[in-house]
Amino acid sequence: MPYIYINIILAFVISLIGTLIYRSHLISSLLCLEGMILSLFTLNALLSLNINFALSTIVPLILLVFAACEAAVGLALLIIISNTYGLDYVQNLNLLQC
Amino acid sequence: MKVINLIPTLMLTSLIILTLPIITTLLQNNKTNCFLYITKTAVTYAFAISLIPTLLFIQSNQEAYISNWHWMTIHTLKLSMSFKLDFFSLTFMPIALFITWSIMEFSLWYMHSDPHINRFFKYLLLFLITMLILVSANNLLQLFMGWEGVGIMSFLLISWWHGRTDANTAALQAMLYNRIGDMGFIMMMAWFTIHLNSWEFQQIFLTNPKNTTLPLLGLLLASAGKSAQFGLHPWLPSAMEGPTPVSALLHSSTMVMAGVFTLIRFYPLMENNLTIQTSTLCLGAITTLFTAICALTQNDIKKIIALSTSSQLGLMMVTIGINQPQLAFIHMCTHAFFKAMLFLSSGSIIHNLNNEQDIRKMGGLYKTMPITSTAIIIGSLALTGMPFLTGFYSKDPIIETANMSYINTWALLITLIAVSMTASYSTRIIFFALLGQPRYPPLTQVNENNPYLVNPIKRLILGSIFMGFLISMNTIPHTTPQMTMPPHLKFMALAVTLLGFTVATELNNMTHNLMFKQPSRMHTFSTMLGYYPTTTHRVLPYPSLTMSQNLATTIMDSIWLEKMIPKNLTTMQKTAASLVSNQKGLMKLYFLSFLLSITLGLLIAL
């Protein structure tokens, strides 16, 4: 397969590992989530341009819309945690309480 | 020889003369002092000219209907400006003009030091014009214009001293109670439009519909509102916040008569409907007794006279209820004279005692104010129906006819009790205000030297003595009066009046020097006007205000905008999430195990 796809899929995999492995701050996980979505978006756009399938150019746009909503939800969660604890350290989330 | 019929011409001339001072205020600066005399002279000339059509009518019994100007036609409803000059309006107009003339002359003395006296006279003249529009209207639209006009002028005149809170409240009260009556009036107009397609009296009386209970109930409600019957009565004692000339003109002679006058106008419909007659009778009887009870223990001289007016209005309703509209009309005309005179005399007393209205602080005026005390005594005697004074020619036939009619006994009894109470409270006024030793501060100067004060009272004294005789001798009765009756029924009115006089005089003389104890419950009931204003004015507005406050803040702001979706959603989600989840929140462990399983899967597959 063309080299460019491998490049972007590698970027995706690195971001995925970044989402799943992080030390203490929750926001670094959310940042890597954004990276995943960015790489997926680029992959979709390049794919629909190279295959010359015009109808699939809408797929990156829909992906962008849902990504925006999801980022907003993630940030809202971050703010609620920050309201109760002052920081977003993951070791604080040990109370099973809202 | 050609004889020109002068009734329509002269009546229109008289009405146009009245509107001329109003036009001069539109054209020029009315800060000059001669506006007052222009207005008074205009009313005098209008009175003199309006006497001629009345005398022509008495001589020839010829009625006139003037239909002037076709305003508009809405589908099939024709609206035009038309005047009905029959017995009722031709007799009432000179009387209203005469009384207004006297009151305007009196207010030249009473309101002399008022800086806005020009405006006061303009309001009085506007009131008179709207009252005459009401009286002479031939269709319901014009009558309604006059109706609303007198309501508005009443509002403006009661709140003349608008810096005083009580005056503003009283004016609002008058307006609101009149409005409740107006609902009935509009219902009546709507019924007539739907069923008879006309607002002209001629068409309504010609078609003589059979099921008139609903519009006549509306008319009864309208009259109850305008004429202060029981249930819609508190505005009349409160309306004494206005100046005394206003009380004399509006709330004794003319405006409160508007309701009774309209009921009298509709007598062809009412004589066929027994239900309405009985309701009118009972309403009038309750009114006359209740307000007479309340008048017995009041301490403000104007309030006593106001409640006396209300009691006489109830008596007029009783007369309409026994199907004698003409007797009610004659009582209306005669009552105007002596009630206006009583108010003018009380105004004279109030001003001379330096604005003292409490009868407990008057006294001994019999010697110092002879003309005023004569007026009060003659007025009270006429009010109670002393034989051969004015009130006798109207009140005595009413009581006799009521005694001989097929009537509700309870209504008859309480009317008679109210007649005796009339004598009691009149005696009370005379005793406290005129007799005995003075109870007011001695430094006030008491004099009656001003001709503007004395001449109106003298004219009204003449009217109070002779008008009853003149009116009843010169009019043709519509129904034959009762000629024969048992002697105890014939003397009933006189007997209860004398009873009231003697009981009141005895009580006053006996208790004059005793110490005043704590008032009994009956006394407090009577002084507080039966607790009616105290309860109704709180019970009725309070739910409306709380409901509107709840609707605006709680339901709209608090529930719909805040609680319904956002907070509900939050609580629901939190409860659901905490119910179903059984995880311990070890995020990093979960993520690492996910990564490991993915890597292992990829390694094994590839």
Tokens 């008879």 locate to B196
Nearest CA in chain B to A19: B591
Residue type at B576?
A
Q: Pick from A59, A34, A62: which is nearest to A45 by CA?
A: A59
Q: Which residue has the higher pLDDT, B430 or B442?
A: B430
- Domain count across chain A: 1
Residue count of chain A, please give it.
98
Question: pLDDT tens across B155-172, in order?
Answer: 999 999 989 999 999 999
A15 domain residue, yes or no: yes
Angle between helices B390-403 and B301-321 (to 10 degrees): 50
| Count, residues in chain B | 606
Does any domain span residue A30? yes
Q: What are phi and psi of B465, to 5 degrees?
A: -85, -40
**Burial track B539-573 (b if 16+ CB lie within 10 A, e otherwise):** eeeeeeeeeeeeeeeeeeeeeeeeeeeeeeeeeee
DSSP codes, B123-187:
HHHHHHHHHHHHHTBSBHHHHHHHHHHHHHHHHHHHTSSTTSHHHHHHHHHHHHHHHHHHHHHHH
Between CA A93 and CA B584 the distance in angstroms is 9
ipTM for the whole complex? 0.82
A22 part of a folded domain: yes
The answer to whether the beta carbons of residues B414 and B507 sit under 8 Å apart is no
User: Which pLDDT score is estimated for B31?
Assistant: 64
Three-class SS of residue B64?
strand
Does B606 contact chain A (CB < 8 Å)? no
Look at residue B29 and tell me whether its pLDDT is greater than 70.
Answer: no
Residue predicted with more confidence, B91 or B577: B91
Cβ count near B593 (within 10 Å):
12
Torsion of CA B239, B308, B334, B344, to 10 degrees: -60
> Exposed, middle or buried: residue B423 (CB in 10 Å: 0-12, 13-18, 19+)?
buried
pLDDT bracket for residue B3 (50, 70, 90): low
Q: Which of B393, B420, B409 is nearest to B492 (CA)?
A: B420
What number of C-beta contacts closer than 8 Å exist between A and B? 27
Q: What is the mean pLDDT of residues B547-552?
A: 90
Residue position matching structure tokens 């004099």: B447
> Is B594 in the A-facing interface, judged by CB distances under 8 Å?
yes
Per-residue model confidence (pLDDT) at position B30: 55
Count of C-beta atoms within a 10 Å radius of residue A1: 6
At residue B281, the pLDDT reads 94
The pLDDT, as a whole number, for residue B589 is 84
Both structure tokens of B255: 């405006």
For B24-33, B54-63, B439-448, which range has the lowest pLDDT when averaged over its residues? Answer: B24-33
For residue B118, what are its two tokens? 């020009």
CB distance A4 to A46 below 8 Å? yes
Task: Give the Å distances, CA to CA, from B583 to A80, A94, B576, B587, B597.
Answer: 19, 10, 14, 10, 19
Q: Which two tokens stand for residue B232?
A: 């819609």
Asked if A90 lies within 8 A of B588 by C-beta distance, the reply is yes
CA A26 to chain centre: 13
The secondary element (H helix, E strand) that includes residue B78 is strand B77-85
* Rounded Cα distance, B314 and B293, in Å: 13
Number of H helices and number of E strands within chain B?
27, 2
Substitution target in B578, B581, B586, B588 with the highest count of A β-carbons within 10 Å is: B588
Q: What is the pLDDT of residues A32-55, one digit of tens each?
A: 999 999 999 999 999 999 999 889
CATH number of the domain encompassing residue A80: 1.10.287.3510
How far apart (Å, rounded) are the C-alpha atoms in residues B244 and B344? 7
Structural domain for A82, as ranges: 2-90
- Let me know: does B336 contact B257? Beta carbons within 8 Å: yes
Residue type, position B177, single letter: Y
Whether residue B220 contacts residue B263, with contact meaning beta carbons closer than 8 Å, is answered with: yes
Q: Specify the 3-state DSSP secondary structure of A4.
A: helix
Which of B580, B587, B596 to probe by mutation at the A interface, max A CB count within 10 Å? B587
CA A38 to mean position of chain CA atoms: 7
- Please tell me the least confidently modeled range out of B120-129, B312-321, B425-434, B548-557: B548-557
Question: What is the rounded CA–CA span in Å between residue B93 and residue B182?
Answer: 24
Nearest CA in chain A to B594: A20
DSSP state letters, B48-93: HHHHHHHHHHHHH---EEEEEEEEEEETTEEEEEEEEESHHHHHHH
Assess whether pLDDT exceeds 60 at residue B285.
yes
Distance from CA of B573 to the nearest CA of A (A): 11
For residues A8 and A25, is the Cβ–Cβ distance under 8 A? no
User: Which residues, including other chains, have CB under 8 Å from residue B587's CB and lie 6 or more apart?
Assistant: A26, A90, A93
B577 touches A at CB < 8 Å:
yes
The per-residue pLDDT for B62 is 84
The tally of CA atoms less than 13 A away on the side-chain side of residue B467 is 25
Predicted local confidence at residue B457, as pLDDT: 93
Amino acid code (one letter) for B591: F
With CA atoms as reference, the chain B residue closest to A14 would be B595
Q: State the amino acid at position B323 in one-letter form.
A: N
Q: Is the pLDDT of residue B252 over 90?
A: no
φ, ψ at B72 (rounded to 5°): -155, 165
Q: Which residues, including other chains, have CB under 8 Å from residue B147's CB and lie 6 or more apart?
A: B134, B182, B185, B222, B226, B258, B262
CA distance B563 to B388: 78
When the pLDDT of each residue in chain A is averaged and rounded to a whole number, the result is: 89
Listed in sequence order, the residues at least 6 apart from B195 whose beta carbon sits closer than 8 Å to its beta carbon are: B209
Going by pLDDT thresholds of 50, 70 and 90, the confidence category of residue B261 is very high
Of B46, B145, B36, B61, nearest in space to B95 by CA: B46
Does the beta-carbon distance from B592 to A21 stay under 8 Å?
Answer: yes
Radius of gyration of chain B (CA): 32
A19 and B591 within 8 Å at the Cβ level: the answer is yes
Residue B550 to residue B545: CA distance in whole angstroms: 9
Average pLDDT of the residues in B122-138: 93
8 A C-beta contact, residue B8 and residue B64: yes
C-alpha span between B277 and B509 (Å, rounded):
42
Q: Which amino acid is at B142?
A: Q
Say yes or no to pLDDT of A92 above 80.
no
What token pair was written down for B300? 């403000």
B327/B478 Cα distance (integer angstroms): 9
A78 in a structural domain: yes
Residue A95 lies in a domain: no
Domain boundaries, chain B: 5-66+78-511, 552-605
Residue of higher predicted confidence among B500 and B390: B500
What is the per-residue pLDDT for B448? 86
Full-model pTM: 0.80
- SS3 assignment for B20-48: HHHHHHHHCCCCCCHHHHHHHHHHHHHHH
Q: Nearest C-alpha of chain B: how many angstroms from A42?
A: 23
Tell me the pLDDT band of B585, cut-offs 50, 70 and 90. Answer: low
Q: B266 pLDDT exceeds 60?
A: yes
The alpha-carbon radius of gyration of chain A (Å, integer) is 17
Query: Mean pLDDT, chain B, as a whole number?
Result: 89
CA–CA gap between residue B564 and residue B475 (Å, rounded): 75
Question: A45 lies in a domain?
Answer: yes
Q: How far away is chain A from the Cα of B580, in angstroms, using its nearest Cα?
A: 12
Q: Residue A98 and residue B578: Cβ atoms within 8 Å?
A: yes
Sign of torsion, CA B435 B441 B442 B447? Answer: negative
- Give the residue-averaged pLDDT of B448-464: 91
Contact B592 A20 (CB under 8 A): yes
